């Protein structure tokens, strides 16, 4: 067998192995990409669920006598910013800047809602309303789902990024258009519980005068 024929056979074998490796890598990366896309769709669904609950919450709260309008206005404005966000959300899992803007507006709404629910503690008559209690329970459940779905999305991204950056998939990733994807970042201050005071309007007793004066 001639040397040229041996070289040709060797090259053919290499091409076959490379082709099989490329197909396997493509299938694996594509499968993980689909998982990321599903995770992103689930994240959007729970955020939309929260946005849909807010108008009823606003309507319920604004009916309370002397309710702090500034707190309510913050929630309304934050929801409007979420609704009016002009970015291509379908591309958010691929674009760190788009995902960052999306997260920033959603986290701002989360903060406004948290302040609203803390403020409601001053209004026992509102808390006693069945409609408000139901909305509060739904919002709290939705916030929990948001945390869960964001975590699942990050896990899917981690699996995908690990595959894209591992051999041999890394050899084919760029060729097939698979690029690393961004994560949701932890909310600022999420590791520190927000200060909540239930001492509404009660002033502390004055300190005793120096020298024990009465």
Residues 6+ apart with CB under 8 A from 146: 43, 46, 47, 50, 110
Predicted local distance difference test score (pLDDT) of residue 87: 84
| C-alpha span between 55 and 18 (Å, rounded) | 57
Predicted local distance difference test score (pLDDT) of residue 26: 86
Predicted local distance difference test score (pLDDT) of residue 19: 52
- 162 and 35 in contact (C-beta within 8 Å)? no
Predicted local distance difference test score (pLDDT) of residue 76: 94
Predicted local distance difference test score (pLDDT) of residue 207: 45
Residues 6+ apart with CB under 8 A from 143: 50, 110, 113
Q: Coil, helix or strand for 18?
A: helix
Look up residue 48 and give its two tokens: 């939309």
* Helix or strand run (H / E) with residue 168: none
Predicted local distance difference test score (pLDDT) of residue 106: 95
Domains of the chain by start residue, with CATH: 23-182 (1.20.1440.20)
Predicted local distance difference test score (pLDDT) of residue 194: 40
Predicted local distance difference test score (pLDDT) of residue 152: 96
Residues 6+ apart with CB under 8 A from 94: 179, 181
| Below-70 pLDDT ranges, the chain | 1-22, 187-214
Predicted local distance difference test score (pLDDT) of residue 103: 95
Q: Report the 10 Å Cβ neighbour count for 28.
A: 16
Predicted local distance difference test score (pLDDT) of residue 82: 94
Look up residue 190 and give its two tokens: 């999420």
pTM of this prediction? 0.77
pLDDT digits (tens, 9 = 90+) for 159-207: 999 999 998 888 888 888 899 999 998 765 444 444 433 333 343 444 4
- 58 and 76 in contact (C-beta within 8 Å)? yes
One DSSP character per residue, 30-52 reads HHHHHHHHHHHHHHHHHHHHHHH
- 101 and 85 in contact (C-beta within 8 Å)? yes
Predicted local distance difference test score (pLDDT) of residue 100: 94
């Amino acid at each position: 067998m001639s040397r040229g024929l041996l070289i040709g056979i060797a090259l053919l074998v290499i091409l076959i192995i490379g082709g099989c490796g490329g197909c396997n890598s493509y299938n694996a990366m594509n499968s993980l990409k689909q998982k990321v896309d599903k995770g992103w769709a689930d994240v959007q669904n729970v955020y939309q669920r929260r946005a849909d609950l807010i108008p009823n919450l606003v309507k319920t709260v604004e009916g309370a006598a002397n309710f702090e309008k500034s707190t309510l206005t913050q929630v309304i404005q934050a929801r409007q910013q979420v609704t009016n966000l002009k970015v291509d959300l379908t591309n958010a899992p691929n674009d760190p800047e788009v995902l960052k803007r999306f997260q920033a507006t959603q986290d701002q709404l989360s903060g406004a809602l948290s302040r609203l629910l803390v403020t409601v503690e001053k209004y026992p008559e509102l808390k006693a309303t069945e409609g408000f209690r139901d909305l509060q329970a739904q919002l709290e459940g939705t916030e929990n789902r948001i945390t869960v779905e964001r975590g699942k999305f990050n896990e899917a991204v981690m699996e995908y990024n690990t595959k894209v950056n591992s051999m041999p998939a890394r050899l084919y990733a760029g060729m097939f258009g698979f690029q690393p994807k961004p994560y949701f970042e932890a909310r600022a201050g999420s590791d520190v519980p927000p200060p909540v005071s239930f001492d509404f309007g009660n002033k502390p007793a004055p300190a005793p005068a120096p020298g024990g004066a009465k």
